[in-house]
C-alpha cells in the first residue's frame, strides 16, 4: 500500500437527527434582523422599488424581498460578482463556458487547465427583456430587483401549461426553485424551501443606502408540486444516483484509475481505499475552499497527476458533488493522520476575500451535509472536530506550512446555527476557570455596507507582544498579507487558556488575554526550520462583546517532564518513537498551559499503545505525548 503525504496545492469550499435536520437548518434563516443601524435612511424608496417591480411583472413583492435578502442581504456588493458569477442581491448570473476564463477575470489567477461548465445567462436575458445594459443590472439596486422579477416571471410561465402566472404566493414555489439555477432537484427545492422559510418568519433588513426593508411573517404553505425538475446534463463522470448522501451528485472516482491501492506503482493516484470507520474512526470534518469554482475542483480531482481529492464539493448554488466514498481516505488535509480520520468538504470560493464568494445557498447546503455526517459518524459539532484546513498542522517541517482556508471570512457561529439550529449554544460548553473562547459579532451573520467588510467582520484575531494593540504583533511569517496571516492569529469558537487579562492599554475597548502561543519566530531562517514554532506568552486582542470567559471545550493541560526545560510539540500522533521523531514542529517551555479538546491512542503492530493529547498550540492544532502533560 502506497502512502502519499501531500499538501493540498492546487485545490484549497451535538448529534443532529436527519429527520429534523432540514427544519433546524432553515429555521436559522428566519431570525435575522439586521436593521439596527442608528441612522437608517427612510424605508419608502426601498419598499417602493419592490412594489414597482411587483406591479410591472406580477411577481409578489414579498417573494422579491425574500430572495434579495437570502441571496445578497439587500446589498449589491458594489457591482462585483460572487464566485458563481452572480450579480446583485437578486443574483443575476452570467457564466462563461470556459470556467478557467471566469477564474482569471474574477480573481486574476492563472489558468492551470481549462474545463467546461454549464452556461447560465440570466443577466444577459434580463437585460434584453428590459432594454437596459448589463452594467445597470450589476450596479443599480432598483434595476437589479426588476431584472430578478422578470426572470421569475418567465420561470413561472414556463412552469404553467397555460403560460399564466400563479394567482397566490404558495403557487410560486416552482418558479422560485427554477430561479435557483440548480441542476439537481434536491438543491432547487432546498433553495425554494429557504425562501419560503424567510417569508414564513419575516425579517427586517437594511439596504446599501441604509433604508429599512421589512417583510411581515406570513403563514404560507408552498405548493411543492408546482416544481418541475431540471433536465440539464451533469458534469463528465457524474450521475444522479449512487452518492452516499442522498442530495449529492455521484461523481465518485473510479478506483481502477485513482485508488493508490489499485493502480500500478508508477502511475499517479489521489486517494487510498480503506474500510472506515471499521479500521479507522471518522472523528473530524475538514472545511476547505477551492480557490476557484466547484467544477474546477472536480476537474482537478479527475486528474490524478495532481494527487489531491476530497470527499465532497459544494457549489455556490448549493449543489453537492461526492468524489470519494466515506470509507476511503481522500488526500485533502495536508496531514495524513487527519486524512485518515476525516471527511473533507470543499467549497467554491477564495479564502482571502471569502465575503465575496460564500453565500446563503452554499452555507445551507454545507450545513445540511454536515448535519448528516455528524449524526452518521457521531462526530461532535465543535470547532475542534469540524475544523478548518487552516487549523490543521503540517505533519512535519518538511511540508510546512499547511493552508489557511477557508480563511477569515468563514462565519463559524452562523454555520453552527445553520447546522444545529436551536441546539447550538456556546454556553453549553464546559465551565472552566481560565478558559477564553472567541465568539465575535463578525461570525454571526454577513455584515458590512456595500458588500464589503471591515476589520470588525474579520474572524481572525491578532496577538501582540504587550497588552496593547499599539505594541508589535508577535513574530510571524513575513511573506503573507497581514489580513490573512495565520501565524499571528486565532480563529473563533476555539478555546485557549489565559493566565492574565487587561483592558487594551491603547484604549481600543478590546480586552487583552495572555495565552501561550506557538510563535514562528525563526522566519528569517532558510528552509524548513523557518516554520519551527517556540511557545511564548502573547496577548490576544478580543472584542468585549465577542468573548466568553470561563466557557469552552476541552481541559487545560500543563506541559511538564522532570529534568526537562522544554518539551517537544508534534504535528501528528504516531504509535512508535521511530514514527514520530521526525514530526516535531515546535517546542514549549516547562509549565506552559494549553487547552486540549481531545486525545488519541495510537496502537503499534506489537500491540503497545501511545496516548496523545491534542492542544490548541497556535492558530493550528498540535500534539503532545500524554506522559509530558498534567491535566488541571
Looking up residue 137, the CATH number of its domain turns out to be: 1.10.530
Distance of alpha carbon 301 from alpha carbon 51, whole angstroms? 47
Task: Please tell me the predicted confidence (pLDDT) of residue 8.
Answer: 29
- For residue 439, is it within any domain? no
Please choose, from the candidates 23, 63, 19, the residue with its C-alpha nearest in 3D space to the C-alpha of residue 174: 63
On whether the CB atoms of residues 289 and 11 are closer than 8 A, the answer is no
Both 67 and 162 in a single domain? Answer: yes
- For residue 293, is it within any domain? yes
- For residue 54, is it within any domain? yes
Distance of alpha carbon 457 from alpha carbon 410, whole angstroms? 10
CB atoms within 10 A of CB 499: 12
Both 258 and 219 in a single domain? Answer: no
Name the domain count of the chain. 2
- What's the DSSP call for residue 252? P
Task: Please tell me the predicted confidence (pLDDT) of residue 429.
Answer: 58
H helix intervals, 507-631 = 577-580
Distance of alpha carbon 300 from alpha carbon 310, whole angstroms? 10
- For residue 563, is it within any domain? no
Both 205 and 306 in a single domain? Answer: no
Task: Please tell me the predicted confidence (pLDDT) of residue 17.
Answer: 25
- For residue 149, is it within any domain? yes
Q: Which domain holds residue 158?
A: 32-226
Both 163 and 245 in a single domain? Answer: no
Task: Please tell me the predicted confidence (pLDDT) of residue 7.
Answer: 28
Give the domain-ending residue among 170, 205, 226: 226
- For residue 134, is it within any domain? yes
Task: Please tell me the predicted confidence (pLDDT) of residue 456.
Answer: 61
This prediction's pTM: 0.77
Both 182 and 268 in a single domain? Answer: no
Both 287 and 417 in a single domain? Answer: yes
Per-residue pLDDT tens over the stretch 393-413: 999 999 888 899 999 989 898
- For residue 412, is it within any domain? yes
Both 383 and 283 in a single domain? Answer: yes
Give the domain-ending residue among 208, 226, 244: 226
Both 217 and 340 in a single domain? Answer: no
Both 265 and 402 in a single domain? Answer: yes
Task: Please tell me the predicted confidence (pLDDT) of residue 16.
Answer: 27
Please choose, from the candidates 356, 295, 306, the residue with its C-alpha nearest in 3D space to the C-alpha of residue 100: 295
Both 301 and 384 in a single domain? Answer: yes
The residue ranges of the chain whose pLDDT is under 70 are: 1-44, 83-84, 96-119, 231-232, 422-431, 445-457, 481-483
| CATH classification of the domain holding 280 | 3.40.80.10
On whether the CB atoms of residues 264 and 335 are closer than 8 A, the answer is no
Number of residues in the chain: 632
Task: Please tell me the predicted confidence (pLDDT) of residue 30.
Answer: 35
Task: Please tell me the predicted confidence (pLDDT) of residue 424.
Answer: 67
- For residue 215, is it within any domain? yes
Q: Helices 185-201 & 18-27, crossing angle to 10 degrees?
A: 50
- What's the DSSP call for residue 152? H
Task: Please tell me the predicted confidence (pLDDT) of residue 83.
Answer: 62
Give the domain-ending residue among 379, 403, 424: 424
- Please report the sign of the dihedral spanned by the C-alpha atoms of residue 266, residue 269, residue 275, residue 277: positive
**Reduced to 3 states, what is the DSSP secondary structure of residue 221?**
coil
Both 268 and 315 in a single domain? Answer: yes
**Reduced to 3 states, what is the DSSP secondary structure of residue 43?**
coil
Distance of alpha carbon 197 from alpha carbon 27, whole angstroms? 7
Both 204 and 293 in a single domain? Answer: no
Amino acid at each position: 500500500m502506497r502512502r502519499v503525504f501531500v499538501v493540498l496545492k492546487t485545490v484549497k469550499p451535538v448529534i443532529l437527527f436527519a429527520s429534523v435536520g432540514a427544519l433546524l437548518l432553515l429555521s436559522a434563516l428566519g431570525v435575522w434582523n439586521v436593521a439596527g443601524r442608528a441612522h437608517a435612511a427612510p424605508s419608502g424608496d426601498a419598499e417602493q422599488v419592490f412594489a414597482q417591480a411587483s406591479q410591472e411583472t406580477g411577481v409578489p413583492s414579498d417573494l422579491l424581498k425574500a430572495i434579495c435578502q437570502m441571496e445578497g442581504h439587500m446589498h449589491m456588493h458594489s457591482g462585483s460578482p460572487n464566485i458563481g458569477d452572480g450579480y446583485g442581491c437578486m443574483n443575476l448570473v452570467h457564466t462563461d463556458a470556459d470556467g478557467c476564463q471566469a477564474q482569471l477575470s474574477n480573481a486574476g489567477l492563472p489558468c492551470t487547465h481549462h474545463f467546461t461548465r454549464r452556461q447560465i445567462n440570466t443577466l444577459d436575458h434580463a437585460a434584453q427583456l428590459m432594454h437596459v445594459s448589463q452594467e445597470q443590472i450589476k450596479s443599480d439596486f432598483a434595476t437589479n430587483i426588476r431584472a430578478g422579477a422578470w426572470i421569475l416571471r418567465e420561470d413561472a410561465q414556463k412552469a404553467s401549461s397555460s403560460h399564466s402566472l400563479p394567482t397566490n404566493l404558495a403557487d410560486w414555489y416552482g418558479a422560485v426553485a427554477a430561479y435557483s439555477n440548480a441542476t439537481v432537484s434536491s438543491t432547487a427545492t432546498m433553495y425554494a424551501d429557504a425562501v419560503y422559510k424567510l417569508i414564513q418568519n419575516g425579517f427586517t433588513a437594511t439596504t446599501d443606502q441604509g433604508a429599512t426593508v421589512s417583510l411581515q411573517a406570513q403563514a404560507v404553505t408552498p405548493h411543492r408540486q408546482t416544481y418541475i425538475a431540471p433536465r440539464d446534463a451533469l458534469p463528465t463522470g457524474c450521475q444522479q444516483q449512487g452518492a452516499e448522501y442522498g442530495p449529492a451528485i455521484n461523481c465518485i472516482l473510479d478506483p481502477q484509475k485513482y485508488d493508490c491501492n489499485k493502480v500500478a506503482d508508477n502511475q499517479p493516484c489521489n486517494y487510498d481505499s480503506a474500510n472506515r470507520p471499521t479500521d479507522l474512526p471518522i472523528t473530524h470534518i475538514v472545511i476547505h475552499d477551492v480557490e476557484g469554482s466547484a467544477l474546477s475542483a472536480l476537474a482537478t480531482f479527475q486528474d490524478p497527476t495532481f494527487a489531491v481529492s476530497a470527499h465532497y464539493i459544494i457549489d455556490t448554488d448549493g449543489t453537492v458533488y461526492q468524489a470519494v466514498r466515506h470509507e476511503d481516505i481522500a488526500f485533502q488535509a495536508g496531514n495524513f493522520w487527519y486524512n485518515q480520520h476525516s471527511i473533507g468538504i470543499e467549497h467554491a470560493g477564495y479564502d482571502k476575500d471569502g465575503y465575496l464568494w460564500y453565500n446563503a445557498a452554499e452555507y445551507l447546503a454545507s450545513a445540511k451535509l454536515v448535519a448528516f455526517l455528524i449524526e452518521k459518524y457521531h462526530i461532535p459539532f465543535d470547532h475542534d472536530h469540524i475544523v478548518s484546513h487552516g487549523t490543521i498542522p503540517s505533519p512535519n517541517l518538511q511540508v510546512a506550512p499547511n493552508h489557511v482556508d477557508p480563511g477569515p471570512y468563514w462565519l463559524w457561529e452562523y454555520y453552527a446555527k445553520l447546522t444545529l439550529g436551536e441546539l447550538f449554544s456556546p454556553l453549553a460548553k464546559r465551565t472552566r476557570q481560565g478558559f477564553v473562547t472567541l465568539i465575535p459579532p463578525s461570525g454571526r451573520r454577513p455584515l458590512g455596507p456595500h458588500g464589503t467588510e471591515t476589520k470588525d467582520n474579520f474572524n481572525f484575531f491578532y496577538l501582540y507582544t504587550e497588552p496593547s494593540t499599539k505594541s508589535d504583533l508577535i513574530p510571524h511569517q513575513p511573506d503573507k498579507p497581514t489580513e490573512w496571516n495565520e501565524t499571528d492569529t486565532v480563529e473563533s469558537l476555539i478555546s485557549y487558556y489565559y493566565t492574565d487579562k487587561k483592558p487594551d492599554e491603547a484604549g481600543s475597548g478590546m480586552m487583552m488575554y495572555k495565552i501561550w502561543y506557538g510563535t514562528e519566530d525563526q522566519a528569517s531562517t532558510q528552509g524548513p526550520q523557518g516554520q519551527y514554532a517556540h511557545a511564548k506568552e502573547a496577548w490576544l486582542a478580543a472584542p468585549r462583546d465577542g468573548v466568553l470567559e470561563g466557557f469552552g471545550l476541552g481541559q487545560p493541560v500543563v506541559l511538564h517532564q522532570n529534568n526537562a526545560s522544554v518539551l517537544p510539540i508534534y504535528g501528528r500522533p504516531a504509535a512508535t518513537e521511530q514514527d514520530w521523531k521526525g514530526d516535531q514542529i515546535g517546542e514549549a517551555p516547562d509549565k506552559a498551559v494549553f487547552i486540549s479538546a481531545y486525545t488519541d491512542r495510537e496502537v503499534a503492530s506489537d500491540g503497545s499503545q501511545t496516548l496523545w493529547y491534542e492542544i490548541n498550540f497556535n492558530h493550528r492544532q498540535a500534539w503532545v505525548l500524554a506522559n509530558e502533560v498534567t491535566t488541571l
